[in-house]
Amino acid sequence: MKNKNTIIETAKQTIQLESKAIANLIKFINDEFENAVKFIHNSKGRVIVSGIGKSAIIAQKIVATMNSTGTPAIFMHAADAIHGDLGNILADDTVICISKSGNTPEIKVLVPFIKNYGNKIIAITGNQESFLAKNSDFLLNSYVEKEACTNNLAPTTSTTAQLVIGDALAICLLDLNNFSSKDFAKYHPGGALGKKLYLRVNDLVAKNEIPKVELSTPINEVIIEISKKRLGTTAVLENEHIVGIVTDGDLRRMLSKNPDIKGVTAKDIMSLNPKTINSDAMAVEALHTMEDNNISQLLVLDNKKYVGVVHLHDLLKEGII
């Protein structure tokens, strides 16, 4: 049985071997790579990504990355392709075939059919003398010296290299398409990442109560308002305009100094010039304002009118933090 040190050393060697192989890919980024990117960018069709075995799994990841960054793509398993899925390929589509050896039986059957359809083939392979390499229109070299597997058999380093080439393609296309953060949000509306790009303060405030008191409101009523609305604060208004804020912290500080609250009003303990944010501001902007000022809530304005409170807990619930 291997001891702890052996396990750690094996893990480190795996990472070092794969990182070295990835760094070596830089010398394969050449005119052929640039031409492949330009061809996809100028194409009216989609990108079909195909592979067999572990390369098929990498193909699925590349498809996912392209779709999420503005390049329409679909996955086509090389084995399924020759049993009906070739129908997925349309006239203007570009096909990316991924194979370490470039000589698997499925690839040898698939490639001629694709070429007969008139579609261009981009090969990602580590074997420059393979059937796939010689029959492709664009050749992207993913050569690795050896697998991380001790027996140099299990696809490890080679699949990592394939994935990195796919990422490089996707990001180059992203740049050419001027794909912005707003575009990214369109494709990621459900996750926390997307929410940072599209969720606005008014989306959060709409769910909350609107705590408010007047300058002359007795302190016991201020406490009730803060407790009832469950936001840890209340705005202090005069003629419907914000003039101050009272927080849980203000109450605690007041009570620690003077337990006698008789005659005390909101005006006596409120903080002036409270931090505010517009209702149409991004939720992530509210987070940054809270962090910069070391506070946990902001008063929200809509056309200078007080409409509620956004709390740090609102951002936590939505996964912004």
State the amino acid at position 161 in one-letter form.
Answer: A
Reported as a single tens digit per residue, the pLDDT across 36-76 is: 999 999 999 999 999 999 999 999 999 999 998 999 999 99
Q: Which parts are annotated binding residues for Zn(2+)?
A: 77
The DSSP string of 81-104 is: HTTTGGGG--TT-EEEEE-SSS--
Residue 193 pLDDT: 63
Reported as a single tens digit per residue, the pLDDT across 11-24 is: 999 999 999 999 99
**Residues 248/233, Cβ–Cβ less than 8 Å:** yes
**Residues 221/260, Cβ–Cβ less than 8 Å:** no
Mean pLDDT of 160-166: 98
State the amino acid at position 273 in one-letter form.
Answer: N
Residue bearing the bigger pLDDT, 71 or 197 = 71
Residue 294 pLDDT: 94
Q: Can you name the residues that pair with 237 across neighbouring β-strands?
A: 214, 242
Mean pLDDT of 143-164: 94
Residue carrying structure tokens 């499925």: 106
Fold type of domain 4-179: Rossmann fold (3.40.50)
Domain spans of the chain, in order of start: 4-179, 198-317
- Which pLDDT band holds residue 194 (cuts at 50, 70, 90)? low
Q: What percent of the chain has pLDDT over 90?
A: 82
- Which pLDDT band holds residue 185 (cuts at 50, 70, 90)? low
pTM score, whole prediction: 0.70
CATH assignment of 198-317, among 3.90.870.20, 3.40.710.10, 3.40.50.1000, 3.10.580.10: 3.10.580.10
CB atoms closer than 10 angstroms to residue 7: 10
In sequence order, which residues have a C-beta less than 8 Å from that of residue 202 and are 6 or more positions away? Answer: 279, 280, 300, 302, 307
Reported as a single tens digit per residue, the pLDDT across 198-252 is: 789 999 998 899 999 999 999 999 999 999 999 999 999 999 999 999 999 999 9
Strand pairing category for 305-311 and 73-77: unpaired
Q: Which parts are annotated binding residues?
A: 77
The backbone torsions φ and ψ at residue 96, rounded to the nearest 5 degrees and listed phi first, read -105, 120
